[in-house]
Amino acid sequence: MTESVQYPYSLKFSLGTLGVMIVLMAIVLQNVWGHQADIVWMVLGFCSLVFITLSAVIVMKRLVPAIKGDVALQLDDEGISDFVKEISIEWKDVKEIHLLPGRSAAIMRVDLKWETNYGSQIAIYLRWVKGKDKEIYETTQAYFEHYCTNPDEQPD
């Protein structure tokens, strides 16, 4: 296992998230369209501002990388690199890896041997990663088992 495994961003989930947001905003707009009260339009203006901001973040952070085919998750001989959250975890720091199933996507939880700046558990959200959750988990588990070091080892 000297080669790295790279998983790109999920285009399907990025587009789905934007689609759901557009539908919800359309529902809000439909509900306030006939009202003449200024407060209703101020609430709509605030909701619109939040919608535009969130849409811009999703487009820039998730959709553009998905279209470009950027790597979201990488497994190699050094560890796990989560480019979605910009976190790298070395295999020697990993105690256990768990798959937590969800409704639309799973979370891969990495338990660390000690407390770090990110805590002792790191969640990797697989909804933003292209591929089948179980296969990603099984590949990660195989890399962990192959590259894990002495469990009594402490950080420098």
Work out the average pLDDT over 14-36: 86
The pLDDT tens digits of the residues spanning 84-119 come to 999 999 999 999 999 999 888 899 999 999 888 888
The pLDDT tens digits of the residues spanning 32-42 come to 777 777 887 88
pLDDT value of position 1:
56
pLDDT value of position 153:
41
- Closest by CA to 81, choosing from 122, 132, 138, 130, is 122
Count H helices and E strands in the chain, helices first. 4, 7
Decide if pLDDT at 49 tops 50: yes
pLDDT value of position 44:
83
pLDDT value of position 9:
95
**Is 114 a member of any domain?**
yes
Instruction: Give the model's confidence band at 154: pLDDT under 50 very low, under 70 low, under 90 confident, else very high.
Output: very low
Work out the average pLDDT over 136-140: 95
Decide if pLDDT at 59 tops 90: yes
CA distance 127 to 140: 16
**Is 1 a member of any domain?**
no
Residue 111 contacts residue 45 (beta carbons within 8 Å): no
Decide if pLDDT at 27 tops 90: no
pLDDT value of position 18:
92
Q: Are residues 76 and 63 in the same domain?
A: no
pLDDT value of position 20:
92
**Number of domains present in the structure of the chain:** 2
Instruction: Report H helices in 3-78.
Output: 11-32, 38-58, 64-68
Q: Are residues 77 and 29 in the same domain?
A: no
Q: Are residues 12 and 62 in the same domain?
A: yes
- Segments forming the whole domain that contains residue 92: 72-147
**Is 23 a member of any domain?**
yes
